[in-house]
Amino acid sequence: MCGRYELCFDYESLREHYQCSFPKNFEKYYQKQPLIKPNQPILTLKQEHKKHNYSFMLWGLLSEWSKDPLNSFRPYNARAETISEKPSFRSAWRHRRCLIPASGFFENKYKIRRKDPEIFWLAGIWNRWLGKEGSEIESCTIITTYANRLIKPLHNRMPSIIPNG
């Protein structure tokens, strides 16, 4: 499954792909990330209220009914085949989808990337957890699918990749 990936593009390359608003001061603090792991904040492109915006979210989906965000189960992958059936994912699948920009992902110590140095997008879903005192946490998970013929020798699953266009 997808448990590690990288985002090694410069800010201008990211900006070229989608003319959306970035989080405040993003260009000042953005750095290339050669190894991104679950439970870290990640850059996502989300749709909300018919607008597309980049946002930082925690990688690991926190269910809205979770009592304690620090000690709750937070899956970092969701199987495409069952995502619409699982209570943890159902609402996000219907209403809160996102794209996660990547330059590569890792399977069994191999880095998988495009032949050309272009960005590609991992499919995801996201959620917003609201605390009793008004705090908010946005989190997401990467959708996985059966491995294609190139990945199958390394692993039986891979992230769902959305073509550019």
- Of the candidates 19, 131, 25, the residue with the CA atom closest to the CA atom of residue 70: 131
- Of the candidates 117, 4, 135, the residue with the CA atom closest to the CA atom of residue 68: 135
Query: Catalytic residue among 6, 20, 27, 107, which?
Result: 107
DSSP H or E stretch at residue 26: helix 26-29
> What DSSP string describes 51-75?
EEEEEEEEESPPPTT-S-TTTS---
Query: Catalytic residue among 2, 98, 138, 140, which?
Result: 2
**136 is a catalytic site residue:** no
Q: How far apart are CA 151 and CA 54, in angstroms?
A: 29
In 92-127, which positions are buried (b, 16+ CB within 10 angstroms) versus exposed (e)?
bbeebbbbbbbbbbbbeeeebbeeeeebbbbbbbbb
- Of the candidates 42, 20, 39, the residue with the CA atom closest to the CA atom of residue 102: 42
**140 is a catalytic site residue:** no
- To which residue do tokens 């769902």 refer? 160
As annotated, the active-site residues are 2, 107
